[in-house]
Amino acid sequence: MMELFNPAFGKNITFVRPAYFIINGFIGLPNMKYYYIFLFFLYIISVVGNTAVMALIYLDHNLRTPKYVAVFNLAFVDLLGSSALVPKVIDVFLFNHNIIPYNDCLTFLFFCYTCLSMQSFNLVALSYDRLIAIIFPLHYQVKVTHKSMMSLIASFWIFVIIAVLISVGLLTRLSFCKSLVIKSYFCDHGQIYRLACNDNFPNDVIAFFYPVVIFWIPLVFILLSYLYISYTLVKVATFQEGIKAFKTCVAHLSLVVVYFTPLLMTFTLMEKIHPNNRIINLSLTSVLPPMLNPIIYVLQTHEIRVSMKKLFKIFSKTKVKIKNCTTA
């Protein structure tokens, strides 16, 4: 397997694989420990919120629809992604464990990139659900089933995992004989391959196409789907019907704005953006959406609010019955 990625493997060629990398983080900014504490509090809210959303969907049979299959997967990805990133970031910067072994660094990169990418494709799945529900309401139950939604999400998982594995695999062919300092808050692919002293052209190609495939294409699909929804509603629906239909999209649109805005700023400005601003944008993209997603769905989705009220009533009644039994 190694021979596929590393041309020096098994040959008499000098190849330097480091024992570790050093994660440097922010450059010249004082009191950054408070920023990492802030990320930790966002992480706690994210864990509680996403666990609650997953529990609601699992416990309430009324929420076991194709749409909430995608919402459940989004909550799972948010929980997994923030758990892969934030505890390690806290360990690195608050406890000064900024030396990370080579293999651990690549594993760290794999989980962070996989979850960040799956958030993007999960928004595509939710966009597809809204598109069919509004444009083809009579055919929705036929076109969007549990099987089709799970197949769509599974295909996204497979695609993302393969794409990230290729990115990580291409890093193993690199020889590092210069600096081992990663100028980021985690094991960032771009920061790692630029440290190599041998040919990194394949990594450069991956670094160019990865944002296009993982972020730009999903964003274009989402925008086109909403343009088509808007065009259809203006053409065939009354104003009141259009507003009612669009209300079902508010939660999803909010997630899209929260997720893609920092990424657009980072990838559009690229070389013009200061490294510290890049780190802030990417770190907030990794932590803010997982924290805000459950809050947005609870506040803006009628079915989730109804489910929460119903479960609270059941919990309250159960608590009263237990109290009566203990006092009898």
Within-domain flag for 35: yes
20-23 and 181-182 as β-strands: parallel, antiparallel, unpaired? parallel
Percent of the chain with pLDDT over 70: 89
Q: Mind listing the pLDDT tens digit for each residue in 230-274? A: 888 888 767 787 788 778 888 888 889 888 987 777 766 666 677
pLDDT at residue 54, rounded to an integer? 92
CATH code, 283? 1.20.1070.10
Q: How many domains does the chain divide into? A: 1
Within-domain flag for 6: no
Within-domain flag for 323: no
Q: Mean pLDDT score of the chain, rounded to an integer?
A: 86
Within-domain flag for 204: yes
Within-domain flag for 317: no
The residue segments making up the domain with residue 57 are 17-300
Q: Nearest-5° angle of CA 302, CA 118, CA 18? A: 145
Confidence category of residue 129, pLDDT binned at 50, 70, 90: very high
Its pTM stands at 0.88
pLDDT at residue 2, rounded to an integer? 43
Within-domain flag for 305: no
Q: Mind listing the pLDDT tens digit for each residue in 264-277? A: 777 666 666 777 87
Within-domain flag for 312: no
Within-domain flag for 237: yes
Distances (CA, A) of 228 to 66, 134, 260, 304, 320: 21, 10, 20, 27, 51
Q: Mind listing the pLDDT tens digit for each residue in 48-66? A: 999 999 998 888 888 888 9
Rounded mean pLDDT, 14-40: 85
